[in-house]
Amino acid sequence: MKRIAFNENLFQQMFKEKQSYVERCLHDSFARIKGYPPIIHEAMHYALFNGGKRIRPILVLEGARLAGGKPEDVVLTACAVEMIHCYSLVHDDLPAMDNDDFRRGKPTCHKVYGDAVAILTGDALLTAAFELMACNAEVPGIMPQNVARAIAEVAEAAGSRGMIGGQVIDLGTEGKKIDYATLKTMHRLKTGELFKASLKAGAILQGMPEDKLQCLEDYAYNFGLAFQITDDILDVKGDQNITGKPIGSDEKNRRTTYVSLFGIEKAWDMAEERIEECIDSLRDFGEEAEFLRQLACFVLYRNY
């Protein structure tokens, strides 16, 4: 694998600073949408502030930075994609889908608020996300046509041809052995599309040209695959106290994974190949893309 210098301590410091910034922005953005009735907004708050890594909103901010813009000008869209991600987790955890009792070490939304409120919580987070993205047009210097394009990018990624489509494939193949092509398509849609839309949305809002947007798309595609492969490895070798979810759930639920198809060593090699492609896709960028290079390397060594 083509290596770059990975400074884990420095990366963790940068990542935590970006996480903290996103947390503050999420609190500010949530204040714009909360109101009556209190129970639904309490449940939305519970689902949104549940210890997430905040990778997707960070990608929005980094996309804006790579386009030469100010990350603070796209925080509404950054918060929106995290709301979409959190809504998908609330619905994933429901008894009709993955039937999980815990998410990141805490009781899942439906365990606290009941199935009906959890369904509506997901719906409310998704709807609020598009409200926030539309409000990004109010930011000085952000062109309305770029807001419309970013919204379309995120909507497609989250919809039936993206994340939801991937979830449908996942549900339809549960307990069945599937081939590599189906597995890769499922995860590209279920996980990769929202990564791609997040990174591109920030860049689109700041007017990045098409050739460079393609570079970001290539990065996000490979990043999403690597992220899923390492997720499958963590399900076998991870520490539940760190990951916050049960180890061995994929095998228990008879899911086809990269590990079940190829074994841990081959799966690791595949993740390394995807990370090499990530780094190569950023070759036309300079120091402004260093965080994304480090983030790609981190995927290989993460333990959560």
Q: Which tokens hold the place of 226?
A: 């690597």
**Cis-peptide, bond into residue 38, ω within 30° of zero:** no
Identify whether 102 is part of a domain.
yes
- Total-model pTM: 0.92
Q: What's the domain range around 159?
A: 8-208
Angle CA(129)–CA(203)–CA(65) in degrees, nearest 5? 105
Domain tally, the chain = 1
Identify whether 194 is part of a domain.
yes
Identify whether 255 is part of a domain.
no
Identify whether 175 is part of a domain.
yes
Identify whether 58 is part of a domain.
yes
How do the pLDDT tens digits run along the chain, 304 residues long?
A: 455 678 888 899 999 999 999 999 999 999 999 999 999 999 999 999 988 999 999 999 999 999 999 999 999 999 999 999 999 999 999 999 988 898 888 999 999 999 999 999 999 999 999 999 999 999 999 999 999 999 999 999 999 999 999 999 999 988 888 999 999 999 999 999 999 999 999 999 999 999 999 999 999 999 999 999 999 999 887 555 544 555 555 555 567 899 999 999 999 999 999 999 999 999 999 999 999 999 999 998 876 5
Identify whether 1 is part of a domain.
no
Among the listed residues 232, 136, 216, the one whose alpha carbon sits nearest the alpha carbon of residue 184 = 232
Other CB atoms within 10 Å distance of the CB of residue 73: 18
Question: The CATH number of the domain where 202 resides is what?
Answer: 1.10.600.10
